[in-house]
């Protein structure tokens, strides 16, 4: 058999004999039966009353259909974010707001950008910025752990521990479960103050990926981002990158 499980042992499993099967046996069965990720998880839940151990998924790019979704959300800034908070794709509105330019950098990380770009503080007071930063770190930790805390997430954390004392202090607090406020107002240098409703959605069949959408909070905010897009030097770009 492809699973290297004998017919006799397989029969015992079906009959509930022989004790709880090990993770190794379940993984071999899943491989031999060519189970999907969801089917493998269901097998674990039936056999061990728990999901399988998390295997971190590392992404370098996303498929065209996700780019199409981002484009359809204009003029709402939107992007696809990995569990390590690498921005894998962003629509034109997002690139205008956060200055990505015509193409995304080889690896643009939202967490690194938050703590290394002073402009992110905008017009907020220091205490307000620190409160947001604490929620940002907690949300990053939660998403990274839920996705298995892969090598890329560890690389991001190690880099910020070395470069940002503020991040280091917040990381030591071990907060989880904090969430960013659903209403976000940006006052970045050279841009009008714009308010958005923040929504973060999971991407089907892509563990760890999040679709982050900033919907203009009012018709005035919508007109503001549309005007910025029209004036932007990246207006000749072709959709997402």
Q: Where are the domains of the chain?
A: 7-48, 64-231
DSSP 237: S
Q: Which two tokens stand for residue 4?
A: 């290297």
Which pLDDT value is given to residue 44?
87
**First-to-last CA distance in the chain?**
45
* Calpha distance 185→69 (Å, rounded): 24
CA 64-70-75 angle, 5° bins: 150
Phi, psi of 208 (to 5 degrees): 95, -20
Residue-wise pLDDT tens digits, 102-124: 555 567 899 999 998 755 554 44
Which pLDDT value is given to residue 123?
45
- Average pLDDT rounded to a whole number, residues 80-94: 94
Residue-wise pLDDT tens digits, 11-49: 766 777 667 888 888 888 888 888 887 788 888 888 888
**Reported pTM:** 0.79
As a whole-number percent, the residues of the chain with pLDDT over 70 amount to: 83
DSSP 198: E
pLDDT class of 77 with cuts at 50, 70, 90: very high
DSSP 22: P
Which pLDDT value is given to residue 164?
95
pLDDT above 60 for 54:
yes
Q: What is the CATH number of domain 64-231?
A: 3.30.450.180
Residue-wise pLDDT tens digits, 162-212: 999 999 999 999 998 778 889 988 876 667 789 999 999 999 888 899 999
For 63, half-sphere exposure in the C-beta direction (CA atoms, 13 angstrom radius) is 6
CA 127-129-135 angle, 5° bins: 105
pLDDT above 80 for 8:
no
């Amino acid at each position: 058999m492809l699973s290297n499980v004998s017919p006799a042992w397989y029969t015992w499993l079906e009959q509930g004999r022989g004790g709880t099967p090990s993770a190794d046996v379940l993984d071999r069965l899943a491989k031999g039966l060519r189970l999907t990720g969801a089917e493998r998880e269901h097998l674990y839940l039936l056999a061990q009353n728990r999901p399988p151990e998390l295997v971190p998924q590392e992404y370098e790019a996303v498929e065209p259909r996700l780019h199409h979704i981002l484009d359809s959300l204009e003029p709402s800034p939107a992007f696809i974010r990995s569990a390590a908070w690498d921005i894998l794709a962003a629509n034109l509105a997002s690139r205008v707001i956060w200055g990505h330019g015509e193409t995304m950098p080889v690896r643009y990380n939202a967490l690194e950008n938050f703590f290394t770009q002073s402009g992110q503080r905008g017009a907020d007071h220091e205490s307000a910025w620190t409160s947001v930063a604490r929620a940002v770190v907690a949300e990053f930790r939660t998403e990274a752990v839920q996705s298995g805390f892969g090598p890329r997430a560890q690389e991001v954390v190690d880099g910020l521990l070395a470069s940002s004392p503020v991040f280091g202090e917040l990381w030591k607090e071990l907060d989880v479960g904090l969430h960013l406020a659903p209403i976000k107002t940006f006052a970045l240098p050279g841009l009008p103050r714009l308010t958005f409703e923040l929504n973060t959605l999971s991407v089907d069949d892509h563990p760890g990926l999040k679709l982050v959408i900033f919907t203009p909070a009012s018709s005035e905010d919508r007109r503001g981002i549309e005007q910025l897009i029209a004036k932007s030097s990246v207006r000749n770009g072709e959709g997402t990158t």
